Structure 1
Amino acid sequence: MEPSGAAGRFRNDAAGIAELAAWCQGHGVELAVMEASGGGERLAFLLLWELSLPCALVNARNVRRFAEAMGFLEKTDRIDAAMIVGYAQAKRVQATPPPSAAEQRLKALVARLGQVTGDLTIQKQRKSAAANAEIIASLDEVMALLVRQSRRLEGEIASLIDDDPLWACLDRAFRSLKGVASRSVARLMAELPEIGILSNKAIAKLAGLAPIANDSGKRSGRRPVRGGRAGPRSLLFLIARIVAKYDPHLAAFHQRLQAAGKEKMVIRIALARKLLVILNAKARDARSEFANAT
């Protein structure tokens, strides 16, 4: 494979993306494939869909490994573009449906709530180390602002979920498990919208909680977990410990693992995966119930 063929450079703004869409249409492009790069691709992804050009997102690390496997250790924009095309062809990549306006808003609100919560924690730590009354008063003022913003964001998120019949149904299903709070539900729906749609194995792999086979011949190697979405995984680690205090099935599962002498990290991963499977089943039932009702 050679990094040859038509190429162009376009600005990452509305005008540049419109030029890109016209250029793609002029070259008979049926699918635009781009790397997920932490948000830098978001504008192009959404605008190209609006301009009737289907798009797909691929993992940047996988594309780089594909390039190295094809013998391209060097990295330039032209080579990167060619490798994305080659990777998409080899994997038979399909279009990634764009999120709705409500989904985009939910994700943005949840992300902002996480930032505000993190900032509030930092201010509390600074206050605990402060001795000067003037500094403490300044920190209290900042903390009061963050608390107001946190409450407002929580209210906006709750209203957004309540206003969507499917989300409201999923919210009730998730919160039927004691220990699953409304904020956790919002994060799951924002960061793992595929829940209830994919199989248990697929959703576990997406969250980075599925053991990866490491066998060769007669050797059966240790099966680690890796990759996946860090946000949902860290959330599941946290709430699995809480739910295990109340849910008898998860508590019994926890006790069996401990009795078997499993390592703490192995138990932590297994609990999170078990909880995800339970939540996925509840989401699947809720989606089916909603579809039948409508």
Structure 2
Amino acid sequence: MSKGWLDVFVHPNGERFHVDNDPTEIRRLRKRCLAILPEPVVMEATGRYHRAAHANLHEAALLVAIVNPYRPRRFADAHGRLAKTNNIDTETSAGFGPTMPLVTSKPPTSSWRRSLNSRVPAVKSSKHACRWSNNFPKRPWGIVIAQITERFELCHRHGKELAEILLPLVQADPTTVRRFEIPTSVPGIGPVTAITLLVEMKELDSDNAAEVASLAGSTPINRDLGQLRGSKMIRSGSIVARNVLYRAATIAMHWNRDLASLYGRLRQGGKPFKVAITATMRKLTVMTDTLLQENRVWTPTPPRPNIRRATQERRLSGTVRTFAIKSWTAAFRIKGLAEFVDALPTRPGLHHTPKTTWPSSLIGQAGFHAISQMCPSGSAT
């Protein structure tokens, strides 16, 4: 994937071709993919150069998996292919698809695409403003102070204007209004941060909160070999999401009671600032994912669980378990009695009822069905 053209490799027949990265050539690529019917089409994430092809192939009902280029590159290293060329990369990505489990993705809607394009300068403007405020010289010249202050105010104004442009785009899509309201209810997450997380992390609202935190790049990774206990580092994940989470965590640790207590406890325990702020980022990500999954806004105190309903369910399960135990106990006792009667020696004038004709009233309905399953022949009546 590049700005000028797209290199294509068909696995496993080895067909290779490339098309220009423009609408006409992408339509030609779609026709060839429909003739081949690959499952799925593997594309390397490039930031923006793959979006047109992704949307066009998705319209044709083709499954497309967007993968991190780092993973196919390591896949090539594992096969001993150390060189890096366009042909090697396309062949490696095509072989990576059938070998590794992939998750197909859908392209963003038009409104979200506009939000994505508008979000980048908004985040960069705010980042430049923060950078200038942090690196403000202590004893500059008078003209330098005026220029830095003017640029600082300009970046803040541009960031606010772009954030105001994003809000109508979110409100125009009914499916994203609620998903936008929930993150912004958390102290420390503003409109730009919420939109960035929803755009960059489609995995939000997932059952696996730990996986979501890992995809955000806020999960420390162990480095323990033998007796070595190395320092835990964060890596991988979306760098854009990690940057906005860092800024949100620095604000939330002052205004969010839960995150402030976590940060203060870690700092008092002797943890460095980066370790404490990374843990705050992780908890902020998990909190946002949990709120989206439960479809509720943030509150200072979590909602109380329905204790009465839980107690009733626990009592009901206990009653069912007790009934099952008693039924199976009675069934095994009657089965043992039946085997004992069958084992009695036959005497003249002595007759007994076979075990397959015992009345169900003696053992109850549950025990009756249990004996019916245990009897080797015939059917209980």
Instruction: Give the TM bin, normalised by the shorter chain.
Output: 0.7 to 0.9
Whether 1:266 and 2:261 are equivalent positions in the alignment is no
Alignment of 1:85-100 (within 5 A): 85-100=94-109
Q: CA deviation at 1:205?
A: 0.6
Give the distance between the partners of 1:167 and 1:173, measured in 2 at CA.
Answer: 10
Correspondence for 2:237 among 228, 237, 251: 228
Output one character per residue of 1:238-282: Cα deviation in whole Å (capped at 9) or x when no partner.
211211222222222112212221122111111111111111111
The residue aligned with 1:238 is: 247
Alignment of 1:98-177 (within 5 A): 98-117=107-126, 131=143, 150-177=159-186
Alignment of 1:1-294 (within 5 A): 5-117=14-126, 131=143, 150-216=159-225, 220-286=229-295
Q: 1:119 to 1:240 in 2, by over 3 A?
A: closer
Q: 1:223 to 1:122 in 2, by over 3 A?
A: closer
Give the distance between the partners of 1:129 and 1:50, measured in 2 at CA.
Answer: 58
The unaligned stretches of length 5 or more in structure 2 are 1-10, 298-381
For residue 8 of structure 1, give the secondary structure of its aligned residue in structure 2: strand
Q: CA deviation at 1:43?
A: 1.5
For residue 56 of structure 1, give the secondary structure of its aligned residue in structure 2: strand
The residue aligned with 2:344 is: none
For residue 9 of structure 1, give the secondary structure of its aligned residue in structure 2: strand
Taking structure 2 as the reference length, the TM-score comes to: 0.64
Q: CA deviation at 1:232?
A: 1.3
Q: Which amino acid aligns with 1:109?
A: S
Q: CA deviation at 1:73?
A: 1.4
Q: With CA pairs under 8 Å and 6+ residues apart, which has the higher RCO, 1 or 2?
A: 1
User: What RMSD, in angstroms, separates the aligned Cα atoms of the two structures?
Assistant: 3.3
Give the distance between the partners of 2:249 and 2:199, measured in 1 at CA.
Answer: 18
Equivalent pair of 2:223/2:231 in contact (CA under 8 Å):
yes
Q: CA deviation at 1:228?
A: 0.7
Taking structure 1 as the reference length, the TM-score comes to: 0.81
Equivalent pair of 2:119/2:166 in contact (CA under 8 Å):
yes
Q: CA deviation at 1:25?
A: 2.5
Give the distance between the partners of 1:121 and 1:268, measured in 2 at CA.
Answer: 17
Give the distance between the partners of 2:250 and 2:157, measured in 1 at CA.
Answer: 29
Give the distance between the partners of 1:14 and 1:278, measured in 2 at CA.
Answer: 41
For residue 245 of structure 1, give the secondary structure of its aligned residue in structure 2: helix
The residue aligned with 2:8 is: none
Give the distance between the partners of 1:220 and 1:89, measured in 2 at CA.
Answer: 36
Give the distance between the partners of 2:124 and 2:164, measured in 1 at CA.
Answer: 16
Give the distance between the partners of 1:230 and 1:88, measured in 2 at CA.
Answer: 24
Equivalent pair of 1:170/1:287 in contact (CA under 8 Å):
no
Q: CA deviation at 1:117?
A: 4.5
Equivalent pair of 1:195/1:203 in contact (CA under 8 Å):
yes
Equivalent pair of 1:31/1:55 in contact (CA under 8 Å):
yes
The unaligned stretches of length 5 or more in structure 1 are 289-294
Equivalent pair of 1:3/1:78 in contact (CA under 8 Å):
no
Give the distance between the partners of 1:6 and 1:287, measured in 2 at CA.
Answer: 51
Q: CA deviation at 1:4?
A: 6.8
Query: Which of these two proteins has the greater Rg computed from alpha carbons?
Result: 2
Equivalent pair of 2:187/2:252 in contact (CA under 8 Å):
yes
Output one character per residue of 1:64-104: Cα deviation in whole Å (capped at 9) or x when no partner.
11111101112332222211011111113232222122221
Q: 1:218 to 1:250 in 2, by over 3 A?
A: same
Q: CA deviation at 1:116?
A: 4.6
